[in-house]
């Protein structure tokens, strides 16, 4: 039982860290666990999606706090300023792509900076991240 919990907690932690401002490799952890066939793939996709979505919402929260402390966009990195422009011009739908490397974290941060409502942000992030993990797990079955 403890080994079972360790694998899912490791996946959750990896997914959470991968979706904050720190780099990570939750896809590799998911791929390994799916290939081991110890866990149900559906369960692994749910755990990874939950961790990655909560990490992205943490990044959204950091953007919200940063906007209050430093209200001028000049304090943002070039990547974050680009993400602000993308969200302003395309709307929240771009958060379906928050799973993308490099720009995904910046999109979540920018959504917080722009004070976008948490519920639609969370739903769009969850859908995008779920789709990515589901495709990875399905490809390995």
pLDDT tens column, 31-51: 999 999 989 999 999 999 999
Residue 1: which pLDDT band, with cuts at 50, 70 and 90? very low
pTM of the model: 0.90
User: Cα–Cα distance between 40 and 65 in angstroms, integer?
Assistant: 38
61 membership: H or E segment, kind and range: helix 41-69
- Burial letters 104-131, b for 16+ CB under 10 A, else e: bbbbbbbbbbbebeeeebbebbbebbbe
Distance of alpha carbon 10 from alpha carbon 21, whole angstroms = 18
Would you list the domain boundaries of the chain? Answer: 2-139
Per-residue pLDDT tens for 89-116?
999 999 999 999 888 999 999 999 999 9
| Contact of 106 with 69, CB cutoff 8 Å | no
pLDDT value at residue 4: 55
């Amino acid at each position: 039982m403890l080994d079972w919990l360790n694998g899912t907690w490791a996946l959750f932690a990896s997914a959470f860290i991968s979706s904050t401002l720190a780099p990570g490799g939750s896809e590799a952890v998911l791929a390994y666990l799916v290939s081991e066939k110890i866990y149900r793939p559906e369960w692994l996709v749910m755990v990874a999606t939950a961790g990655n979505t909560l990490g992205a919402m943490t990044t959204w929260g950091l953007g919200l706090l940063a906007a209050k402390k430093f209200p001028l966009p000049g304090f943002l990195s070039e990547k974050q300023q680009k993400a602000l422009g993308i969200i302003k011009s395309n709307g929240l739908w771009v958060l379906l792509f928050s799973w993308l490397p490099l720009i995904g974290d910046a999109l979540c941060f920018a959504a917080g900076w722009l004070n976008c409502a948490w519920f639609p942000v969370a739903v769009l992030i969850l859908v995008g991240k779920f789709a990515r993990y589901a495709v990875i797990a399905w490809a390995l079955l």
